Amino acid sequence: MSGRILARLNELGLSLPKPAAPIANYVAYVRSGKLLFISGQLAMGANGIEYPGIVGKDVSIEDAKRAARLAALNVIAQASTALEGNLDLVTRVVKVTGWVNCGPGFTQQPDVVNGASDLFGEVFGDAGRHARAAVGASSLPRNSVVEVDAIFEIA
């Protein structure tokens, strides 16, 4: 597999992880017309969940931001699978939602989800600028500190 986006990932020193299989009754992605919807991805690394726990209690904001970046990389990996390896078909990152595992009173969800937004910008350039929601949650699947999903426009 080659292409402009994969070359950019390589320049950033990133390689796409193997996409995670769904853990419940849903699919990893849905393509509808010119939109590609990627289901929520966790901060899953080679050895399972990285940075487990609650931000501000078990996980620092900086580590939670790294976790959001990893979750976004997993989103890109799912998109690559959906597009048969041709990420150059992505014409726009339309919408990103990031959930942050946090306690009452925590208000820095946008700072954490910037880890994902920054990666989309680094990888896709201006096409990576997107609408976004950053939401606090009292828990997330597998005790992940973050979960990120995205909607892409494709050619």
pTM value? Answer: 0.97
Strand, helix or coil for residue 76: helix
Backbone angles phi, psi at 94, to 5 degrees: -85, -50
Domains of the chain, by residue range, sit at 28-130
By CB neighbour count within 10 A (0-12 exposed, 13-18 middle, 19+ buried), where does 134 fall?
buried
Non-local CB neighbours of 4 within 8 Å, separated by 6+ positions: 88
Between 3.20.20.70, 3.30.1330.40, 1.10.150.120, 1.10.760.10, what CATH number should domain 28-130 receive?
A: 3.30.1330.40
> What is the number of other CB atoms lying within 10 angstroms of the CB of residue 92?
18
pLDDT, tens only, 15-73: 999 999 998 999 999 999 999 999 999 999 988 999 999 999 999 999 999 999 999 99
